[in-house]
Amino acid sequence: MNLFPTRASAFPTGLATCVLIAATLTGCGTGQQSQTATQEPSVNGASGAVGSVVLRDVRIRAQVTGADLKPGATVDLLFVAANQSQTDSDKLVGITSDIGSVTLTPAAPDVPAGGSLIVGTPEGIDAAALQALSSAVQATATVKLSKPIANALPYDFVFKFGRGSQGTVAVPVTAGDTSPPS
């Protein structure tokens, strides 16, 4: 009687053990939610997607000192539009809202394939330095209010793009990026 197994019988046992260990280790994460899967960026604005273009940090910059900002005032609309298509450019042909008329400068800025459009300039940033460091297209958007707006309330804006897509984003009012001078 041989007390030591032969090499031929040890191989299937070792293989079965390896398969069991691999199955056990890969199954540990099954059904688990990644901690970063649901994280949102820590920005003041809203986010949305319109076709292949993703809108980030969409917000109205306005200093509302009383209960609301009255009709006739002009406020800035700030956001970044990133084109996720690597082959097709797009154009932002218009933005509309029931709180006022939106003016884009230039009138229909490009959103290059795989690139971005930065609308507005964050406070405390040198616009020339930002343009030198980025290949992003720059534009501005202003809203001439026809209705009053208040802090902490979102207002619907419809973004229309040249490739036929359009979408609505509920845009919040923010006081700006820096504290007012005292």
Q: Which domains does the chain have, with CATH numbers?
A: 52-174 (2.60.40.1890)
Residue-wise pLDDT tens digits, 49-88: 999 999 999 999 998 888 889 999 999 999 999 999 999 9
pLDDT value at 121 more than 90: no
DSSP of 118-182 = EES--TT--HHHHHHH---EEEEEEEEESS-B-TT--EEEEEEETTS-EEEEEEPEE--SSPPP-
Residue-wise pLDDT tens digits, 137-166: 999 999 999 999 998 889 999 999 998 899
**What is the percentage of the chain residues whose pLDDT exceeds 70?**
68
Q: What is the pTM of this model?
A: 0.72
